[in-house]
Amino acid sequence: MSASAVIPRVVVAAPASGSGKTTVATGLMAAFAARGLAVSPHKVGPDYIDPGYHALATGRPGRNLDPWLTSDELLVPLFRHGADGADVAVVEGVMGLYDGASGKGTAAGGGDYASSAHVASLLDAPVVLVVDASAAAGRSVAALVHGFRSFGDVRIGGVVLNRLGSDGHERMCREAVEDLGLPVLGALRRHEAAATPSRHLGLIPAAERHADAVATVERLGEMVAAACDLEAVLALARSAPPLAGSRWDPAEAVRAGEARELPESPPSAAARDGRAERPRVAVAGGPAFTFGYAENEELLEAAGAEVVRFDPLRDDRLPDGARGVVIGGGFPEVYAAELSANEPLRADLAAFARARPVYAECAGLLYLARELDGRPMCGVLEGVTAAMAPRLTLGYRAAVAVSDSVVARAGERVHGHEFHRTVTHPGHGETAAWQWSPSGPEGFVRGNCVASYLHLHWAGAPHFAARIVDACRTAPGERDRA
């Protein structure tokens, strides 16, 4: 699809982290959905947790928009893919409006690459600026808003005042902002009732507290609907111009990725259109493994796989007929006792990994280790132990494959990110997976298994999905589990 698309859209951003972006963005999603609108939820950056709440608010997959992990050119196609059929799209920003990957300049200025402003510019979307007014009033709030409106090229279409203390406080701030010629689209009081609990990596994922999370999202929708002018926000979203360019298609992405990256092994049309075997790829899920990009599974399916889910906390064996396993990120450290107690699945996965492809990111790495915080895990990575660390490790990573693996070829370069508060000993195997820092190699490649802390968005490397599926078809030691 290459025609222009009319997709009403806004980016909800803020001057700084902690201003209330998630509250306002999730509340807007829930409020619009409660009115019967089809709402497309998006999150700027590599965050896995907020999209879980967005999905509860809208009934659609929460999707990330990150030009660092994919590319500038893919940003609009991926957005159009996620927003297909939606009445309005709400994009939650990341950190402060202009905070991005430092060192990568754009036409708008250095250091704001992959920022909320960068994504808003690529989407040609108006910005709703959420301002925490708890420690300021009147003209100081207006001065802040004026600075953000005049600093860059994005269009700030309105302001939501957050954490106001009283009617008088709201009146002073509202009048000062409106004197700038900007509408105040909403004014929220301090709101403890809708707070979401957090721990070492941020908010607790929705999947871990489903009933409470549903109630929280419902309260956010009611609160934002009562405090914001939804018709004005919708009118602002509808003021966004048509988006040119094609809509991302996972099947086309797989074909193009194979043709570009694997000219020596052209794609099999029969395999991709379903006439060949569709190997089952089991993807870990449940409360302990909640981190993943929706597009990764869509690419696996487009490459010819049948994707099935399993929960390492509850299932005592891998799904029947599984030919490959993908284990993404999450919080296995929180569930170490329960994961360790599920001995049948640990043994099943250890046996499976001796012959079949296994791809693991972060939490998956910990689960495949010999032990985590002193508790036995799967032992696929013999001699590797994992434990909680005193500091959080996070950030974008420009990585190069150190060796051939089930997804990469030695020397290939990818963009990914780290997000964990654990360490492994050793940090890499004799055959490492990646290198992204001067400190040396990272991760493990053992036979058909590859595991590391690196998170990847496969839309930026769709041939990775094709390689996993092909490995499921061709790796030796086939085990018929049906």
Q: Are residues 296 and 444 in the same domain?
A: yes
Euclidean distance between CA atoms 92 and 44, whole angstroms: 6
- CA distance linking residue 353 with residue 445, whole number of Å: 12
**Number of folded domains in the chain?**
2
Q: Evaluate whether residue 230 is within a structural domain.
A: yes
With b for 16 or more beta-carbon neighbours within 10 A and e for fewer, the 412-435 pattern comes to: bebbbbbbbbbebeebbbebbbbb
Decide if 433 contacts 358 (C-beta within 8 A).
Answer: no
Amino acid at 10: V
Q: What number of other Cβ atoms are within 10 A of residue 314's Cβ?
A: 12
Q: In terms of domains, do 75 and 53 share one?
A: yes
One domain, residues 316 and 207: no
What's the rounded Cα separation, in Å, for the pair 68 and 31?
A: 31
Do 289 and 205 share a domain, yes or no?
no
The active-site residue, picked from 173, 228, 362, 449, is 362
Task: Mark whether 307 and 449 lie in a shared domain.
Answer: yes
pTM of the full predicted structure?
0.92
Cα angle for residues 4, 5, 9 (degrees, 5° grid): 135
Residues 194 and 333 in one domain: no
Q: Which one of 238, 267, 299 terminates a domain?
A: 238
Q: Are residues 231 and 258 in the same domain?
A: no
DSSP 108: T
Contact 293, 64 (CB under 8 A): yes
Single out the residue in 238, 262, 285 at which a domain terminates.
238
Decide if 482 is inside a domain. Answer: no
CATH code at 211?
Answer: 3.40.50.300
426 and 284 in a common domain: yes
Report yes or no on 441 lying in a domain. Answer: yes
Chain-centroid distance, C-alpha 145: 29
Separation between Cα atoms, residue 213 and residue 224, nearest integer Å? 16
Query: Would you write out the chain's pLDDT as a tens digit for each of its 482 residues?
Result: 457 789 999 999 999 999 999 999 999 999 999 999 999 999 999 988 899 999 999 999 999 999 999 999 999 999 999 999 999 999 999 999 999 986 443 333 457 899 999 999 999 999 999 999 999 988 999 999 999 999 999 999 999 999 999 999 999 999 999 999 999 999 999 875 556 655 344 566 666 666 788 899 999 999 999 999 999 999 999 999 999 989 999 999 999 987 766 555 545 544 455 546 899 999 999 999 999 999 999 999 999 999 999 999 999 999 999 999 999 999 899 999 999 999 999 999 999 999 999 999 999 999 999 999 999 999 999 999 999 998 888 899 999 999 999 999 999 999 999 989 999 999 999 999 999 988 789 999 999 999 999 999 999 999 999 999 999 998 654 444 44
Q: Is residue 18 one of the residues assigned to a domain?
A: yes
Residue 480 counted as domain residue: no
Task: Report residue 162 CA to chain centroid gap.
Answer: 26
Boundaries of domain holding 148: 9-238
45 lies in a domain?
A: yes
From residue 461, how far is each of 60, 69, 363, 466, 467 by CA, in Å? 24, 9, 21, 10, 11
Helix or strand (DSSP H, E) at 282: strand 280-284
229 and 174 part of one domain: yes
Is residue 125 assigned to a domain? yes
Residue 269 burial (CB count, 10 A): 10
Catalytic residue check, 362: yes
CA distance 177 to 168: 14
- pLDDT confidence of residue 295: 98
CATH of the domain at 318: 3.40.50.880
Same domain, 171 and 318: no
Q: How far is CA 295 from the centre of its chain?
A: 10
Q: Are residues 213 and 75 in the same domain?
A: yes
Cα–Cα distance measured from residue 280 to residue 469, given in angstroms and rounded to the nearest whole number: 9
DSSP state of 200: T
Give every CB contact of residue 84 below 8 A, 6+ residues apart in sequence: 247
Q: Give yes or no: residues 255 and 205 share one domain.
A: no
Within-domain flag for 124: yes
Domain end marker among 183, 206, 238: 238
